[in-house]
Structure 1
Amino acid sequence: MDLSAISEELAEIEGQINDIFRALSNGFQKLEKIKDPNRRSRQLEELTDKMRECKRLIKGFEKVMKEEESRNTHDNNKKLNEKKQSMIKELNSFVALKKQHASSLENKRVDLFDGLGVGDGVGDENVMLASTMTNQQLMDTGHQMMDETDQAIERSKKVVEDTVNVGAETAAALKAQTEQMSRIVNELDSIHFSIKKASQLVKEIGRSVATDRCIMAMLFLIVIGVVAIIIVKLVNPHNKDIRDIPGLAPPVSRKLLWDLSDR
């Protein structure tokens, strides 16, 4: 098809699809030469990814084609439609090759290409009979395979989103718990410091009380002594043992004082 007869956007998409078709052709030729089952499986997975990308591009080609349908001539729209059907048919042929190689490897895993319709009713029968199908049947089959692939991709995206959300919620919960533990540790440190200060204060109060008790005891003994002396003096005023204590000696008679002054 003459690329000058279509828009630049359609020409670019068609070029990308053709590049993928060439890569798929070379990839399947390379796959025939690989003997190691593990390498063959990895190569088959890479080819499957390329087919998925090709399916996405074909769908984009169809979308742009419909948008430009009103601006194109009838002949150009017909050629574009034939080109799209040809691309779908070629993609289905690669799907059939992929299925054959997967069967030869006896791969028991879930077929990675289920999203393109290989396996669940749209598989071998429709692919192998693609050459006998009408254009409308080819279009319907291609649409069905692309829709199924979109659904599979959306399910995968949903699983990834759910996983990310669970991870975010778990991280938030762990962060909150970590902050709570940090606050608890700080509160415990504050309580320990308060207890230490209270213990020191109690010791200081105890020492102060002990000192005050000693002073009170000494004052009490002094008062007891003074009271005892006073009592003894009152009871026995001629006691010579306490006569020399200031303030407690009996008054000296005036006569005695004159006698002492005459001498």
Structure 2
Amino acid sequence: MDLFSISDELGNIDGKIADEFRALKNGFQKLEKVKDPNRRSRQLEELTGKMRDCKRFIKEFDTEVKDVESKNSTDVNRMLNEKKQSMIKELNYFVTLKKQYANSLESKRVDMFDGPTGGEPEENLASTMSNQQLVGRGNTMMDETDQAIDRSKKVVNETMNVGAETSAALKAQTDQMNRVVNELDSIHFSIKKASALVKEIGRQVATDKCIMGVLFLIVLGVVAVVIVKIVNPNNKDIPDIPGLAPPVPGSNRKLLWFPSL
């Protein structure tokens, strides 16, 4: 039904509201492409102003409907009321969209039409809604809050589980590092002990070599003396060696000589 056939004022207001809704739709589409936070914030403020104007037009529409209510039939009044509820629903959609963009910009949470007049726009919009719609909206907000709390609890539980797993992993790694340090200490002690043992063996080998060298020199000296005494038994510079002394004149003893020597 054409609203101009009911009231010219209703038709004009409906046209203004339709224009505002189109502007809001185009504005949010453009806002999606804006990357600069400052530009987004300014454009979001402009869209908030348009939503405030749209709220005022809906309020005027509701006032005009009440003025002509007595002149219209029940079907027409029902149609006008449904039209008003449809406008409110569409406006609430843009309000929710605006809150999402505001949260994405990490700005503080604002009311539905937060402006210079404080909470008055929300109160005016609430006055245009029926009690059943207000209760339904309240229940919806409570459900959303409960869901947000459940998600927060889930995140907290997951964080605690991750923290416990991380703590256990760190403890296991710490124990492993302690075992590695103990093994390194044992290896270091073994290396020091082996080094000391090698030095001791080296000293013993050097001592044995010295002793063997001295003994070898002694044996060489004895052999040399024996050879010289055999070759020149009358040499008085070399003392007699038992068994190798020349025979005493008039003595019946015979010198034992071993050719093998």
What TM-score results when the alignment is normalised by the length of structure 1?
Answer: 0.45
User: Larger C-alpha radius of gyration, 1 or 2?
Assistant: 2
- Say which structure is richer in helix: 1
What TM-score results when the alignment is normalised by the length of structure 2?
Answer: 0.45
